[in-house]
Amino acid sequence: MSTLPHRLGFDKVSLHQDISKVLVDEITIRKRIRELGDIINREYAHKDLLLVSVLKGSIIFMADLIRSITVPHEIDFMATSSYGSGVSSSGVVRILKDLNTSIEGRNVILVEDIIDSGHTLSYLLRILQERRPASLRIMTLLDKPERREVNIHVDWVGFSIPNEFVVGYGLDYGEVYRNLPFIGVLKPSIYGAPE
CB closer to ligand PRP out of 45 and 87: 87
How many binding residues for ligand PRP (CB under 6 A)? 17
Among 56, 131, 137, 187, binds ligand PRP (CB under 6 A): 56
Query: Which amino acid belongs to residue 108?
Result: V
Q: In what order do the strands lie in the sheet with 107-115?
A: 93-97, 74-82, 50-55, 107-115, 135-143, 156-160
CB closer to ligand PRP out of 126 and 132: 126
Q: Which of residues 84-123 bind ligand PRP (CB under 6 A)?
A: 89, 112-120
The string of DSSP letters for 41-73 reads HHHTTTS--EEEEEETTTHHHHHHHHTT--S--
d(CA 186, CA 177): 9
Q: Which of residues 65-84 bind ligand PRP (CB under 6 A)?
A: 81-82
CB closer to ligand PRP out of 69 and 115: 115
Which residues of this chain interact with ligand PRP, rule CB under 6 A? 54-57, 81-82, 89, 112-120, 172
